[in-house]
Structure 1
Amino acid sequence: MERCFSVSGDCTAPSLAGRAPPAPAHLVSTAPPAPAPPPTPPPRPGRPRGAGAMVDVSKWPLFSLLSAKETAAVRQACVFGNSANEALYVTHSNEFAVIGLNCSNCLGTGDSLSTIAPRALDALRGKKVASFSYGSGPHVLLATESGELYAWGHNGYSQLGNGTTNQCASPALVTTNLQGKRFKEVACGSHHSLALTTDGEVFAWGYNNCGQVGSGSTANQPSPRRVAGLLQGKAVVGVACGQTSSLALVDNGELYSWGYNGNGQLGLGNNGNQLSPCRLTALQGLCVQQVVAGYAHCLALTDEGALYAWGANTCGQLGTGNKSNQHSPVQVMAEKERVVEVAACHSTHTSAAKTQSGQVYMWGQCRGQSVVLPHLTHFVSTDDVFACVATPAVMWRLLSLETEDFMTLSQALGREFDSPETADLKFSVEGKYIYVHKAVLKIRCDHFRSMFQSHWSEDLQEVIEIEQFSFPVYRSFLHFLYTDTVELPPEDAIGLLDLATSYCENRLKRLCQQIIKRGITVDNAFTLLSAAVRYDAEDLEEFCFRFCVNHLTRVTQTAAFWQVDGAMLKEFICRASRCGAFKN
């Protein structure tokens, strides 16, 4: 489906080994001296030191320890740790399990024992994961779908938010200063933490020698505290962390950063640390929809599919063709097609991106080599990049997946779609035939169930003429009935949305909206908004409206804007005015 719409930054791997938090001088030579590290608990006896396209979790070596049955049960997973030697996963039956070294009690099993066999994480049984992140200690944060916030693992700088520096061997609720708050996203830096509430507030705590918790000082923060300053009154929709820096993405596409800036990773045009959030003015006029942070570099993706990078670049992780650091965002992959996803994580110097047609690129540190320009791979997902070329081979996000060792029903049906050998019916669209199976259509679509009845003339026909839809649209619709996927470029998705509305296919309608969102541009935004209104696609209508408001000046200069009927134009202007689009 997705294919068509489906630090001085050393070139060696960042050293994350060891139980004591690394001083910033280990990150970049220009960092200020670190305060004396707080004491950490002595090691206990015997303690070791240390989703679209299908993704195969067994590409991460740690999962080779699981049996085929255990692997098939994995629904969500994350590999983390200093050497990618710890993993947490959730099964299809919503059971939690962990495996690995258990450095700093990061497995959450209540003890310090490592394990090569999965162990149940009973403290989280029955919970559903909304967001998962890990630090370098490592410490672990997890937000549930019900808004609860859990933390465990290394805590030498109070990065667990419990007001102490004692390690936590089991998942524990983070509650201090958070009464009544519900969380939807978490992010961990080296030894600091961010959590985003469902109402758009950011809380931070932990190590703060460079201002990475955004409190306005460099004092460590032992418990959660709301990040205010320029974020006051803003609705934050995403957060990310580098090793000692932080980022927040606002609902209007603005991006803010704070913390360590020795390599320009804050994107502010200089290398001075910031103790509270600062807006990236270099991206003014652009609407950022995704931001990720590497060890000391950042990638941002706009709603028009443009990719920007800044920060450390000694491994080529910015993709600019050289190894010079950048203190301000620069566009990369401008000559490529639209980018729909970017990937990085603070444990590596590796970057990845996926384009609209499903092509996956990688650059930066790749299997020990410095790749300074985006390199086209054979991978089907950005997750594969981190499994196969990053050091360490961690996951850059909580991975949702399905593993299959047999042909599914949809795969078997998909193989027979448009096959003259087995079909018992064909549609004629624009003079071309599409071969299908009447029984499949009746099972999958109420429209056809009604059509193929004895009192309908179509029930006796071997060829059915279709005149109201184009061949690509109707073929894509029939293919969807066989595979649950849509293979159609964004420009044809409006026609498919029309068909889905006519046939009351709500799931297909939602998929069409996703495709259209990925294909939105300034030139077609108002056309898509008009279509969303016409087909009663509320989510798409809201998305297109926000895009038009975020790019208001350019949208109002397009032909589509002035060709729309007066009633809709008036409604748009009134609605945009109510949300403050015309304020000076």
Structure 2
Amino acid sequence: MAGVITAMGSLVWVTMATSKPLVQVSCGYAHTLALTDEGFIYSWGANSYGQLGTGNKSNQAVPTLINMDKERLVEVAACHTSHTSAAKTQSGQVLMWGQCRGQAVAYPHLTHFTNTDDVFACFATPAVTWHLLSVDGDDYLTVAQSLKREFDSPEISDLKFLVDGKCIHVHKALLKIRCEHFRALLNETDEETIEIHQFSYLVYRAFLEYLYTDTINLPPEDAIGLLDLATYYRESRLKRLCQETIKRGITEENAITLLSAAVKYEARDLEEFCFKFCVNHLTAVTQTQAFADMDHDLLKNFISKASRYGAFKN
């Protein structure tokens, strides 16, 4: 019970000391990691294997900022059975430190993994597997891998989209299976080339790639355009993925831009998230150019809602 109380007290300390809301907390065997909404990690607890990521093996009774010369972090991970720590960057890179196959790694190191689960499956002691790992040879491709490889490949495609003067090669059957819009469109036309004018090449290519891979890989500002497309095509899952991408990439500089987009495309959950971020970083957000250029009606509604939220009490 004392350990739980200490951890809760430390979380309060992080929030009060940094004035930054926490978005994720992970607990290891005897250490804790906390991620702020700006992508910084604080750690405290036991450090016999360097699991705090401070560059040494000294235990820390109070939360300590881990200094990383990396891009914004969006995920932290620890396991209650191990002294291992992991984190994931906005671009998908995975870092690890602590007890790694019996060795002590006192500072975060870059790995070849694409998710933090694999860190604990391959390097933690004892190993912990949260999802299935493929043990097939390199010459075997799953269905998902095969589809991904054939995206935008002209070899066996039977349809191409022309966007901003650039071609994207696809397969009619897959598009019909994955998207109601294309099922209706391709049942009415035998064209081998379709021109697209209302969306950019970057956005439309990301949309078609999503149909092949079920994932999106865009920075938050470009994900706004994909959110517009998802709304237009009534792709609810894609719309949710866009919102999650935008949430992970929000900063003080782009918060108002993302809030405006959420309002425009009626993404209520994203709108509330962006609004709370703006209120929690009100001073910095109001000094940005995006705030100065804010639409009058949106500005009026923002000030009114922020006032009700208690943002101007002090």
| Fold shared per TM-score above 0.5 | yes
SS at match of 1:246: helix
Q: 1:496 to 1:213 in 2, by over 3 A?
A: closer
Quick check: which one's strand share is greater?
1
Q: 1:319 to 1:282 in 2, by over 3 A?
A: farther
Residue deviations 1:287-336, cap 9 Å, x none? 11011223333211111222222333332112122223334433325311
Q: 1:539 to 1:373 in 2, by over 3 A?
A: same
- Output the CA distance in 2 between the equivalents of 1:509 and 1:402: 29
Q: Aligned runs of 1:472-551 on 2, under 5 Å? A: 472-551=202-281
The answer to whether structure 1 residue 470 and structure 2 residue 200 are counterparts is yes
Tell me, which stretches of 5 or more residues in structure 1 are unaligned? 1-207, 215-244, 248-256, 258-265, 268-277
Residue matched to 2:57: 323
The answer to whether structure 1 residue 368 and structure 2 residue 121 are counterparts is no
- Output the CA distance in 2 between the equivalents of 1:339 and 1:281: 17
- Output the CA distance in 1 between the equivalents of 2:45 and 2:119: 21
What code does the residue aligned with 1:565 have? D
SS at match of 1:578: helix
Query: Deviation of residue 481 (structure 1)?
Result: 1.5
Residue matched to 1:578: 308
Query: Deviation of residue 483 (structure 1)?
Result: 2.3
- Output the CA distance in 2 between the equivalents of 1:392 and 1:407: 30
Residue deviations 1:217-255, cap 9 Å, x none? xxxxxxxxxxxxxxxxxxxxxxxxxxxx433xxxxxxxx
- Output the CA distance in 2 between the equivalents of 1:556 and 1:400: 43
Residue matched to 2:18: 284
SS at match of 2:64: strand
What code does the residue aligned with 2:76 have? V
Q: Aligned runs of 1:86-105 on 2, under 5 Å? A: none
Residue deviations 1:416-468, cap 9 Å, x none? 221211111111112211011223223322222332344xxxx2432222222
What code does the residue aligned with 1:471 have? Y
Residue matched to 1:246: 7
The 8 Å contact of residues 410 and 484 in structure 1, kept in 2 or not, is answered as no
The 8 Å contact of residues 15 and 22 in structure 2, kept in 1 or not, is answered as no
Question: Which structure has the larger Rg over C-alpha atoms?
Answer: 1
The answer to whether structure 1 residue 383 and structure 2 residue 117 are counterparts is yes
Q: Aligned runs of 1:330-479 on 2, under 5 Å? A: 330-394=64-128, 399=130, 409-454=143-188, 459-479=189-209
SS at match of 2:7: strand
Q: 2:32 aligns with which of 298, 301, 307?
A: 298
When normalised by structure 1's length, the TM-score is: 0.50
- Output the CA distance in 2 between the equivalents of 1:519 and 1:294: 26
The 8 Å contact of residues 315 and 371 in structure 1, kept in 2 or not, is answered as yes
User: Using CA pairs below 8 Å that are at least 6 residues apart, which structure has the higher relative contact order?
Assistant: 1
- Output the CA distance in 1 between the equivalents of 2:14 and 2:157: 58
Q: 1:417 to 1:281 in 2, by over 3 A?
A: closer
- Output the CA distance in 2 between the equivalents of 1:334 and 1:520: 19
- Output the CA distance in 1 between the equivalents of 2:279 and 2:256: 10
Q: 1:550 to 1:463 in 2, by over 3 A?
A: same
- Output the CA distance in 2 between the equivalents of 1:480 and 1:404: 26
What code does the residue aligned with 2:29 have? Y
SS at match of 1:361: strand
- Output the CA distance in 2 between the equivalents of 1:544 and 1:532: 8
What code does the residue aligned with 1:387 have? A
Residue matched to 2:299: 569
Query: Deviation of residue 360 (structure 1)?
Result: 1.5
Moved more, 326-335 or 475-484: 326-335
Q: 1:559 aligns with which of 289, 292, 295?
A: 289
The 8 Å contact of residues 282 and 328 in structure 1, kept in 2 or not, is answered as no
The 8 Å contact of residues 418 and 435 in structure 1, kept in 2 or not, is answered as yes
Residue deviations 1:173-232, cap 9 Å, x none? xxxxxxxxxxxxxxxxxxxxxxxxxxxxxxxxxxx4xx3465xxxxxxxxxxxxxxxxxx
SS at match of 2:71: coil
What code does the residue aligned with 2:123 have? V
Query: Deviation of residue 408 (structure 1)?
Result: 5.2
Q: 1:439 to 1:394 in 2, by over 3 A?
A: closer
Q: Aligned runs of 1:45-444 on 2, under 5 Å? A: 208=1, 211-212=2-3, 214=5, 245-247=6-8, 257=9, 266=10, 279-280=13-14, 283-394=17-128, 399=130, 409-444=143-178
- Output the CA distance in 1 between the equivalents of 2:254 and 2:105: 36
SS at match of 1:421: coil
Tell me, which stretches of 5 or more residues in structure 2 are unaligned? none
Structure 1 vs Structure 2 CA RMSD: 2.4
The 8 Å contact of residues 15 and 21 in structure 2, kept in 1 or not, is answered as no
Identical columns (%)? 65
- Output the CA distance in 2 between the equivalents of 1:348 and 1:444: 41
The 8 Å contact of residues 283 and 329 in structure 1, kept in 2 or not, is answered as no
